[in-house]
Structure 1
Amino acid sequence: MGLVVVLGIGAGAYLLKPVIGPARDLSLVGDVERGNYLIRLGGCVACHTDGQSGRAFLSGGMGLVTQFGTFVPPNITSDPTAGIGRWTLAQFSDAMSNGVGPQGHLYPAFPYENYTLMSDQEIADLYAALMATEPVSAPAAASQIPFPFSFRPIMAGWKNLFFKPARFVPEAGKSEPYNRGKYLAFGPAHCVACHSPRNVLGAVEWDKAFTGSPGGTGGKAPAITRDALLEDGYDAATLAQTLMDGFTPGFDVLGGSMGEVIADGTSQWTDADRAAIAEYLLDE
């Protein structure tokens, strides 16, 4: 019995310990123009703007329905009450890098697992851009998360099991466009978060990255592995083109969530970034 108690205490201590990545340089001055590009690069608009309900830019998105509840992307405008206008750069950095907001642990429906890979300067730039947005005083709808998932401290255990905050490290021996594409796919563009299966606790199955999601936490999304893309008729040029205009090699038009991602995000990327992510995904 004593051994069981000791093991229980040890397991509890492990699961409740803070999960913190490398310290960031918060003395950097953010650039609003670069930050505005990051808003598009990181998919912020598609998630945090519910155009179907006529909500204003970044003032709250449509709910993401999962087996753990419905998560509603919040208002991230500069409004001090309904938005994040009172957040400091340190608080914003903690949310993006470690999944901890002023309200406590954040749920991985917010892809901090991907944003943690961003550079210190990018965090400062994105913060500057969000603080420069038009404030919207209407709060987003409340998320509907049943107990026990509504008890945020349990997310400490989830993080200790599945979250490893770090910064992106380029892959040795690969080209700059390849590494840029890999960074985008795993980092701010978070393609891997939507296009990969997740386990019963909602964690990405990293060994099956890009093999598609049948639904659940990340929603339903097709495989975007090299083999799957080639089978669908893509090469690097056509994939980059699809990310700009939504037209597939089979003369279809991507709609639904991916249509929003293209309209609000990838269509407004640079040609170089679209080409980079295509090169990475189709690399042999």
Structure 2
Amino acid sequence: MTRSILKHFLAPLAAVSFALAGCGGHNDAATSPKNSPEQITRGRYLAQAADCAACHTAQNGAPFAGGVKLESQFGTFYGTNITPDPKHGIGTWSADDLYGALHDGVAPKHKLYPAMPYTSYRQMSREDSDAIYAYLMAQKPAPAPNVAADLKFPYNVRFAVRFWDMLFLKDALPDASSGQSADWTRGRYLANALGHCAECHTPRGAFGQMQDAKTLQGGELGRIGAPDITPAALAARGWTGADLQAFFATGFAKQGSAFGEMHPVVYLSTQHLSENDSRALATYLLGDAPPKPAPLVAAKVDDPTQLAAGRSLYLDSCAGCHGFDGQGKPHVAVAMDGNSTLRQADPRNLIVSMLDGIEAQRFPGLENMQHMPGFAGTYTDEQIAQLANYLRATWGGQPADISADKVKSLR
């Protein structure tokens, strides 16, 4: 999830860089705790809950050795080495140093840019920070050099970030739900501090700051957007607490499967949550008194023949995997009937998925979803619009109002 922040986070004062960039240095006055086996085990769980691997472990690379390439409009970034290697990693960091990076966005040698989500990690307890430190220091040092970010001016200027912090860094984030139960309180910590959900699911202001008045109402991540996950929006798409728990644990629910930036979040992070924490996270997202899931009602179409072209395209190119009646096929493709992406008011993610396709994905256990081809080179803008309108009106309860121009704008 954190990697997506780089694509939209910054503006004039808040230029982009990467979490813990320029590792190295040492705070001689700092002290480090004793790292017991229990603390290391707990730190592993917390590092998974915080999704550290998503940005710090490259495909086929050593764990936490960095190298993840991150493209953005500000330049190219690379995940950094946070193994205990003394030269290229954080081997000379103390527990105080790591806490300073997580809580204040300050590394031993410089100020971090807010692309490192210290805006959320700031709420992490010192005890949890120390446990993550113990776990990282127990990893095998990887002598993998960091690749310097290639940034354009003025985004390579760090000094202005201090002013950004003065304006936007807060000790707590607003809540989109309400509650007082133990589960809600624990879920709040999991979502706002460790999981940093708001970093992707909250719109940004002109200076890259999260818009507190719109917390969790959806954010732009690039091609695939982070949807609105407020209680009302989740209920409108048919989600229940049990559905969310299944989704966190497996990447699947009756509403569909994780894709885009959410797939690695499930694979690297939420599948490892305990049953209690998964329940707590779902409770926080929906609130102690969750709204009832909205029933799916097919959209009314004045002229049913306007969906005929889209249905023909569906039967020709989609039904073989997603089923004649949109029921899906286990281990092959998700159901279209009631699919959460079809039920979103914003059709962006549906259109982009149809244009670009979705690569084959592994899920927890033995589950896999096969490759979905993109149709950008197969169908015209008008045909993509017809297909999308058929899907949304038939199985998403949304109006058939997508135009060819809308599709064209997303190519």
Q: What is the TM-score when the length of structure 1 is the normalising length?
A: 0.82
**Residue 111 of structure 1: CA displacement?**
0.7
5+ residue gaps in structure 2? 1-29, 290-411
Whole-angstrom CA distance in 2 between matches of 1:144 and 1:55:
21
Calculate percent identity across the aligned residue pairs: 38
Q: Which has the higher contact order (CA 8 A, sep 6+)?
A: 1
User: Structure 1 residues 201, 70: closer, same or farther in 2, change over 3 A?
Assistant: farther
Match of 1:221 in 2: 226
**Residue 90 of structure 1: CA displacement?**
1.7
Whole-angstrom CA distance in 1 between matches of 2:285 and 2:230:
6
Whole-angstrom CA distance in 1 between matches of 2:282 and 2:136:
28
Match of 1:40 in 2: 48
Match of 1:268 in 2: 272
User: Structure 1 residues 69, 165: closer, same or farther in 2, change over 3 A?
Assistant: farther
**Greater Cα shift, 219-228 or 205-214:** 219-228
Larger proportion of helix: 1
1:64, 1:72 within 8 Å by CA — same for their partners in 2?
A: yes
5+ residue gaps in structure 1? 1-24
2:76, 2:149 within 8 Å by CA — same for their partners in 1?
A: yes
Whole-angstrom CA distance in 1 between matches of 2:227 and 2:145:
33
- Aligned-pair Cα RMSD in Å: 2.5
**Greater Cα shift, 70-79 or 273-282:** 70-79
**Greater Cα shift, 253-262 or 274-283:** 253-262
What residue identity is the alignment partner of 1:35?
G
Whole-angstrom CA distance in 1 between matches of 2:34 and 2:126:
10
1:196, 1:204 within 8 Å by CA — same for their partners in 2?
A: yes
1:107, 1:155 within 8 Å by CA — same for their partners in 2?
A: yes
Match of 2:378 in 1: none
Structure 1 residue 235 and structure 2 residue 218: aligned? no
**Residue 227 of structure 1: CA displacement?**
1.7
Match of 2:57 in 1: 49
SS class of match (1:83):
coil
Q: What is the TM-score when the length of structure 2 is the normalising length?
A: 0.58
Out of 127, 133, 144, the position equivalent to 2:150 is 144
**Residue 229 of structure 1: CA displacement?**
1.3
2:229, 2:285 within 8 Å by CA — same for their partners in 1?
A: yes
What residue identity is the alignment partner of 2:247?
T
**Greater Cα shift, 95-104 or 61-70:** 61-70
User: Structure 1 residues 207, 172: closer, same or farther in 2, change over 3 A?
Assistant: closer
**Residue 28 of structure 1: CA displacement?**
5.2
What residue identity is the alignment partner of 2:260?
G
Whole-angstrom CA distance in 2 between matches of 1:66 and 1:223:
23
Out of 100, 121, 130, the position equivalent to 1:115 is 121
What residue identity is the alignment partner of 2:200?
C
1:26, 1:90 within 8 Å by CA — same for their partners in 2?
A: yes
**Residue 208 of structure 1: CA displacement?**
0.7
**Residue 91 of structure 1: CA displacement?**
1.3
What residue identity is the alignment partner of 2:243?
T
Q: Deviations over 1:175-220 (max 9, x none)?
A: 010011111111111011111111121111111111111236xx83
Aligned residues: 255
What residue identity is the alignment partner of 1:33?
T
Whole-angstrom CA distance in 2 between matches of 1:167 and 1:214:
19
Structure 1 residue 81 and structure 2 residue 81: aligned? no
**Greater Cα shift, 59-68 or 35-44:** 59-68
**Residue 109 of structure 1: CA displacement?**
1.2
Whole-angstrom CA distance in 2 between matches of 1:276 and 1:72:
33
**Greater Cα shift, 86-95 or 62-71:** 62-71
2:31, 2:94 within 8 Å by CA — same for their partners in 1?
A: no
SS class of match (2:71):
strand
Match of 2:15 in 1: none
Match of 2:132 in 1: 126
Q: Deviations over 1:49-99 (max 9, x none)?
A: 122xx1111111533434433332211111111111111122111111100
Please tell me whether Structure 1 or Structure 2 has the larger radius of gyration of its CA atoms: 2
1:26, 1:120 within 8 Å by CA — same for their partners in 2?
A: no
SS class of match (1:213):
coil
2:102, 2:122 within 8 Å by CA — same for their partners in 1?
A: yes
SS class of match (1:65):
strand
What residue identity is the alignment partner of 1:260?
P
1:71, 1:109 within 8 Å by CA — same for their partners in 2?
A: no
Q: Deviations over 1:118-138 (max 9, x none)?
A: 111111111111111111111
